[in-house]
Amino acid sequence: MTGITIAAAGVLTFLLRWSFIGASDRLALPAAVRRALRFVPAAVLSALIWPAVLVSDGSLHLAPDNLRLIAAVVAAVVAWRTRNVLYTIVAGMGTLWALTAGFGL
C-alpha cells in the first residue's frame, strides 16, 4: 500500500512539474497567461513565506511574542539590503536563537 502511494504520488508530482516544460516546443501560451506568469515568483514565494512565519500549530500568531515574526522582520531587512541567501539565513536563525535563549522559551 505504501509502495503504491509513493509511486502514484511520484508520477503525479512529475506530471505537474513536467507539464509545460514537456510541451514547451508545441505550446505557445496566450499573452494574458504570459502576463500572469510574470508574477509567479513574487506571489508563490510570498504565499510560502507568510504562513511559515505567522501560523504555527494551525493558528495565527501576529503578536510580538511570535519570535519567528521578529526574526523574519530582521531577516527581511537583511534580504532586502543584501539579496544574499546566506546572510539572510544567518540573520534570521541568529535572531530566532538569540530570542529563544533570551526569553528562555
Residues in 81-100 at the binding interface with another protein, rule: CB under 8 A: 82-89, 92-93, 96-97, 100
Q: How far apart are CA 66 and CA 87, in angstroms?
A: 22
Site for another protein in 18-77 (CB under 8 A): 18-25, 27, 29, 31, 33-55, 58, 60, 68, 71-72, 75-76
Q: How far apart are CA 97 and CA 44, in angstroms?
A: 27
Instruction: Check the CA dihedral 80-86-90-96 and report its sign.
Output: positive
Q: Examine residue 17 and tell whether it contacts another protein (CB under 8 A).
A: yes
Name the residue among 73, 67, 70 with its Cα closest to residue 101: 67
